[in-house]
């Protein structure tokens, strides 16, 4: 696969990460996707192929919890999404996950989601 665009590069990195990172029932995979305007997080059990929980900046329930400065495309919004997914997982009794950055660099909004989820009680 030749790398012609940024998306090709991210896809190649994503597949390289997915070879090593697998979610199980005890440690599901927390995956992050970010677009310019929104951020999406879901927790997947790869053994059964089921999504356990998800949160995104598009959901009305999550958007209502945003503060005045928080949006899907900034750091405050990413922190709110990290806290939301952690709360949803802790309600289901899941405390440990495996983090999948989905080919994105681990800085900015992706790191903010991870740090907020850790602060809210998830271990990874």
Has residue 70 got a pLDDT over 90?
A: no
Q: Exposed, middle or buried: residue 79 (CB in 10 Å: 0-12, 13-18, 19+)?
A: buried
Task: Find, among 14, 32, 53, the residue nearest to 107 by Cα.
Answer: 32
> Are 116 and 78 spatial neighbours (Cβ–Cβ below 8 Å)?
yes
> Are 95 and 52 spatial neighbours (Cβ–Cβ below 8 Å)?
no
pLDDT at 50: 95
13-37 residue pLDDT tens: 999 999 999 998 899 999 999 999 9
Has residue 62 got a pLDDT over 90?
A: no
The two counts, helices (H) then strands (E), for the chain are: 4, 4
pLDDT at 120: 97
Which domains are seen in the chain, by residue range? 6-119 (3.30.420.100)
């Amino acid at each position: 696969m030749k790398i012609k665009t940024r998306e090709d590069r991210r896809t190649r990195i994503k597949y390289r990460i997915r070879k090593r990172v697998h979610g199980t029932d005890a440690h599901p995979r927390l995956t992050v996707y970010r677009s310019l305007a929104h951020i999406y997080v879901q927790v997947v059990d790869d053994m059964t192929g089921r999504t356990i929980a998800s949160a995104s900046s598009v959901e009305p329930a999550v958007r209502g919890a945003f503060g005045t400065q928080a949006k899907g495309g900034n750091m405050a919004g990413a922190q709110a999404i990290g806290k939301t997914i952690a709360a949803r997982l802790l309600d289901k009794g899941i405390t440990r996950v495996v983090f999948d950055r989905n080919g994105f660099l681990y800085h900015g909004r992706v790191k903010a989601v991870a740090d907020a989820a850790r602060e809210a009680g998830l271990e990874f």
